[in-house]
Amino acid sequence: MDGILFPLILTVHILVGATVIGLVLLQHGKGADMGAAFGSGSSGSLFGASGSANFLSRTTAVLATVFFITSLGLSYLATNRPQAPSSVMEQVQNQPAAAPIEQAPAQPAAGADSKAKEIPK
């Protein structure tokens, strides 16, 4: 599940961040309201003179909240990932021990023992 969740949240995070940047650039500052009062043409926009401020500021606030939540989610997923071994030796140490190899019998076979007695000294 983590394999698909992290890229999904990261994609949403990047898209929301880019959208917040765009919305902030679309909003006009407080000084621009004076220009609208004297007929600078802002009142004939899509949202009206004051409608755009409410819509854009609320949308920005919602997207900023989503951005904050995805930031927390990404940090949680990044810190709780299982650690991969950094070297080959760590991989060998983490594997279960192999079954012990059977050793050859310590005493020689019966036929070899009898020939050893026949050799003159």
- Which pLDDT belongs to residue 31? 66
pLDDT for position 45: 54
Angle at 24 between CA 19 and CA 25, to 5 degrees: 100
- Reported as a single tens digit per residue, the pLDDT across 93-109 is 666 666 666 776 666 55
Q: How far is 23 from 57, CA to CA, in rounded Å? A: 8
Lowest pLDDT segment from 21-30, 40-49, 77-86 = 40-49
Residues 36, 40: Cα–Cα separation, whole Å: 5
pLDDT tens digits along 21-32: 999 998 877 666
Highest mean pLDDT among 4-18, 43-57, 69-83: 4-18
Instruction: Give the residue extent of every domain in the chain.
Output: 10-29+42-83
